Structure formats: C-alpha cells, structure tokens
C-alpha cells in the first residue's frame, strides 16, 4: 500500500515538473519574440499594453462587415489592410506559417517568377526558427503579417532574434 501511494506521489511530481517546464518554455519564447522587436515600433522602445479585441460585425446582403470605429482607426493609422475594395474584385493570397514543412522556399520562388504578392502570417516560433525564409519573404517584396497574440513586427523593419 505504501509503495502504491509513493508511486502515485512520484507520478504526480513528474507530471507537475513536466507542465511547469512547458509553461516556462512558452514564457521564454514569448519574451524572446516580443523583446526582439520592441525597438521597431515606430522607432520607439515603447509598447502599449492595451488589449484590443478584434472581430467583425456581420452585415446582410453580402455587404462588408463592420470592424468597429476603434479598430478601423488603427488600421487607417498604420495603413493596414483588412478588407478589400468593395468596388473592385481582387483575390488576396495568404499563407499561415506556423511551422515549416519544406514548401515555403518553392512558394516564394513561384510568387517571384510570376510577380505575385502574397501575405505570409507568421508565428513567433516561425520567426525565431526560420529567419532566412522570413528575410527572403521581405526581400522578395512579400507582406509579412503577425499571427501571434504578441506584437511581432511592423512594415519592412523586421529583425529576428536568432
């Protein structure tokens, strides 16, 4: 009976240490991604801690959704793109880059050969593990977007911490 209780306590301890190490690793990764890019927010070292909710209010009859006046003002201020021109028909090509499966380099080459611009939404992990591909995206004139809960980048002034 004592051996069984001891084994249960040992198993709980191992599980606790495992979870703790994962949480700490995630904290370090988030700090790395954030601190590597702090200096590039409007060439300032200040970041706002204000949390901004993001979402849309669906419209009827296939009309564009309402982003909300505050979100729209931020998009306008930083010359962001959220919705296309409702008068013209465009296709926006986007890629979610959370990990690299070996296809991105070829995709970049095809886009360059055909003079097509796309947006690559990257995660902090991707930024920190694939700096050469992110630089290539920028060098080839592609748009690099943020796909993380933390601020990562602004415009073409991306510098990775690798």
84, 90 contact by CB (below 8 A): yes
Per-residue model confidence as pLDDT tens for the chain (162 residues)? 777 777 776 677 676 666 666 666 555 444 444 433 333 344 445 666 777 777 777 888 888 888 888 888 888 888 877 777 778 877 889 998 888 888 999 999 999 999 999 999 998 888 889 999 999 999 999 999 887 665 544 444 444 443
151, 41 contact by CB (below 8 A): yes
132: tokens are 């050469």
User: Distance between CA atoms of 99 and 122, rounded to whole angstroms?
Assistant: 8
Cα dihedral across residues 130, 104, 88, 57: positive or negative: negative
């Amino acid at each position: 009976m004592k051996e069984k209780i001891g084994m249960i306590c040992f198993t709980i301890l191992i599980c606790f240490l495992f979870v703790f190490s994962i949480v700490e690793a995630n904290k370090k990764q988030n700090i790395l991604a954030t601190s590597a890019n702090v200096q590039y927010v409007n060439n300032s070292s200040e970041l706002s801690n204000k949390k901004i909710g993001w979402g849309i209010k669906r419209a009827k009859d296939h009309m564009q959704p309402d982003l909300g006046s505050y979100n729209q003002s931020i998009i306008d201020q930083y010359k962001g793109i959220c919705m296309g021109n409702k008068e013209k028909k465009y296709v926006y090509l986007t890629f979610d880059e959370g990990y690299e499966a070996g296809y991105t380099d070829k995709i970049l080459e095809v886009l360059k050969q055909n003079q097509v611009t796309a947006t690559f939404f990257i995660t902090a992990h991707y930024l920190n593990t694939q700096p050469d591909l992110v630089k290539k995206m920028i060098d080839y004139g592609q748009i690099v977007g943020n796909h993380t809960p933390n601020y990562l980048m602004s415009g073409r002034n991306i510098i990775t911490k690798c």
